[in-house]
Structure 1
Amino acid sequence: MSVALQGKTIVLGVCGGIAAYKAAALTSKLTQAGATVRVIMTESAVQFVAPLTFQTLSRHHVFVDTFDEKDPSVVSHINLADSADLVLIAPATANMIGKLALGLGDDMLSTTLLATEAPIWVAPAMNVHMYANPAVQANMQTLASRGVRFIEPGEGQLACGYVGKGRLAEPEEIFAAVERFFAGEKKPLAGKRVLVTAGGTVERLDPVRYLTNDSSGKMGYAIAEEAVRMGAQVTLVSGPTALSAPAGAQLVRVQSALDMREAVLSRLDAQDVVVKAAAVADYRPAEAATQKIKKKADTLTLQLVKNPDILQEIGTLKTHQFVIGFAAETENLDDYAMDKLNRKNCDLIVGNDVSQAGAGFGTDTNIVRIYDRSGLVQALSLRSKSEVARELLQLAAQRLISVGDA
């Protein structure tokens, strides 16, 4: 039995896929831990596992057909939606993720999802190419922005024969996440002030042109969102992006490197943690034209001057702050990252080879290596930027505790 799960009602949505068999093991674990598990199966899921399996393991009727009302005193999908402390879809197919993103309700599970006010968790399982499809990724981003939480699929041999990301997380992993949720997830950064920089900077040539880079800001925004989740008071200093501000973070919008420098240094003293994830321009035009530069000669020479190194200034000025830098490289990652860490007096530095597939600008994933003054601390293979943010901030929180105990 689990104290955290006793008395909790979990509505488990099971979609059609070979991974449905894992949902049976998950049902058993949750039930044995003291949770009330109410299972909703799609018609496709029934082709893989019989409803009787889930009925036996959960000790409750299993719902498949919206119109098969088992209790005349209630409307089943509304009753399930209202009774849930958590709605968990495992496995979740691309089809169900799309329905949820679009607000469609054409079966028992999708109508229940529309009606519930409980937290919704989604554990995807599908072919690696389906998972990477831009439409599926866009739907997942939409849901994440609405507060839906994802349990990332694993990598490995898939039932279709491919090797890659798309395998349903193991029942033990999903169970542990649910138990942590009901136990009250720890807030390792509670009471801490965290400043995060994100996005690229814009260096004006004239009123209609500028120099910038390919940074989308996704990594910095993921860090800010995770820091809020860990209990921190977060300030996000962001260059221009198309991203929405993470709920709970104070957003400070800036344009140029000089703007970002002012925004960061004016707030530095109050911070406990500084994460410099922004891609700040190294140079800016020596002089920005007040009017549009007209096309005249065949060539145009621009004179650029060096921007201040914000990270280096932070490293020089810091007193108690825990400073994390980023090093985006295309070669010799270990050497360049360690050199940057030492020159700029960082406590940790996150290196990533942006030439690798899945690790470059604009992606929802990253591949990173985290270093301290002793060298490599942790290497993270391809995973979502949210997962990278979580691992990085957990490491920072542990270091802060160690310093506080010293």
Structure 2
Amino acid sequence: MTLTMTQTTTVEEQAIAAKKAAKKLSILSTEEKNEALLILADALDNNYEAILAENEKDLMNGREKGFEDAFMDRLALSRERIADFAQGLRQVAEHADPVGDVLSDWTLENGLNVKEIRVPLGVIGMIYEARPNVTVDAAGLALKSGNAIILKGGSSALSSNKAIVDIMHQALENTKVPKEAIQFIATADREATQQLFTMKEHIDVLIPRGGGALIKAVVENATVPVLETGVGNCHLYVDEEADTEKAVNIMINAKTDRPAVCNAAETLVVHQAWLEKNKEQLAVAFQESGITVHGDELAAASLPNVVPATEPDWADEYLSLDIAVKVVSDIDEAIEHIDQYGTKHSEAIITENENNARKFLQLVDAAAVYHNASTRFTDGGALGFGAEIGISTQKLHARGPMGLPALTTRKYVMVGDGLVR
């Protein structure tokens, strides 16, 4: 399907409006931005019934189309979830405003004063799938960091997202923040997304958030700079010297707390000697939690009801109560497996051996690494950011959960007194 002239004009006009709004937003005070965030939070809390009514339309559509359980979980809203992302806006308001921070300050011998300061990126394009909470998190972080944002959510959450943005627009009428700073492309047409890829004159950065196919499409086709978020094939390595209770509890939490999110564990890499000692307890934990094990030959020899693992089992996100189990002979083999199949998201080691822990934390290449803790903490809210706009698995500009500082860049401000070179 090709965009009509009207649709094309609308998308471009929205981008132009966002760029103009970004100029106004960039000079607002921290107090003015915080006031707007608190008003947005109250508006969402007070209008949750309207949001849930629209969300039910999306859920009904998802059921008719046979969406997977993990997808439906990300799509579904509740009174509690709406309250949570409204509270996230309040937490963002409480956090320090990065805009204007002086990162360095020095004066040259000739008297030229040089300051390196944080400034907003400008206009952010956000392309994401079936998580309506992203609409709120992204908008809140963008506004606090002085950026306008263009939101392009997936078609599966169109009604939910439109309701959320409509409520936010109405609320912003009572603030200093121009409502044009939040733009929502209310079409399911993929051509609109494609257009965002090439609007360098209006958009400063694109952030894709969703499955591997979406992220790959943005990275490979965009001419606008991309802040790449990543899928999470996260591993837990249970070392030979792991405490049994810690290992089992962390593994169950990382796998079952919310299986459909990117920081859930997808692969258990386990030392053969530890597995031999603790196979009964591990088997009980799997069974009681309803986890299906996809394992190699050594795992199948120690655990019941193991589905033989194939190559995709080591590489893919399950986003469900399935886990791959790889048995290794030492930490080096574990790190080698993670290097081969990991997505540089979150990796954890469970061990009481400090040398092995140090080796793992230093050598494993990921945005977040853990010792004796669940991968579920790779999250802006859990780490105290209030919200996150995504989790970056790349290495330039930002890495890991992206909060407010990740949505700024730097500017050198130089002051002289008639200086020439």
Same fold (TM over 0.5): no
Q: Which has the higher helix share?
A: 2
**Normalised TM-score (structure 1):** 0.30
Q: Which has the higher strand share?
A: 1
Q: Which has the higher contact order (CA 8 A, sep 6+)?
A: 2
**Normalised TM-score (structure 2):** 0.29
